[in-house]
Amino acid sequence: MSVRSRVLGRLEAPMTPAGAAVRLAAAGLLVAAGLAALILVQLWRAPVAERIDTGDELRAQAGTVISEVFSAEAGSWQADRARARTLVGGPLQTSMAEALGAPVPAGVSAVRWQPLAVGVVDEQADSGTAVIVVRVLVIPESGQSTESIKSVNADFARSDGRWVLTGMDELQ
């Protein structure tokens, strides 16, 4: 008897209960392995997805936070500074306390920081760092406004569900 006819004979033979049980167990193991692999991929992917969400959220809010901390109008200076104090945390809160409590500088009508671009360079679940390019406008009570472009490296931390500024360095 040839090999071919022996193989065909085995393939055409009726399945025994033991053979069916082995095949069913093998199929069950394959399904279980597939589910385990799917669960592991989801567990591995979750922290990456959280960082992406954190980065997107920080990118959307970092420019606004910087703007609100450093912008103020003479007519609402104290209210603007009070709002700014709620957006600053960590060591920066202490180091900026005096500046955020100071009165309107003589001859200044407004200071406006307008974010032009925000790039997140590091993000964790509750902290992150962004490089922000801003247009700084100082509007005097009389005369011409002065405008400059600044780049800052800003550190943020999540506090009570929102981002607060915790550190900042001006870049050259």
Q: Which residues of 48-82 are buried (b: 16+ CB within 10 A; e: fewer)?
A: eeebeebbebbbebbbebbbbbbbbebeebeebbe
Q: What share of the chain is helix, strand, coil (3-state, %, to 5)?
A: 50, 35, 15
- In degrees and rounded to multiples of 5, residue 113 shows phi and psi of -105, 115
Domains of the chain, each with CATH number or no CATH: 54-171 (3.10.450.230)
Residues 6+ apart with CB under 8 A from 28: none
Over residues 88-118, the pLDDT tens digits come to 998 888 899 898 989 999 999 999 999 999 9
pLDDT per residue as tens digits for the range 110-161: 999 999 999 999 888 889 999 999 999 999 999 899 999 999 999 999 988 8
- What count of residues does the chain have? 172
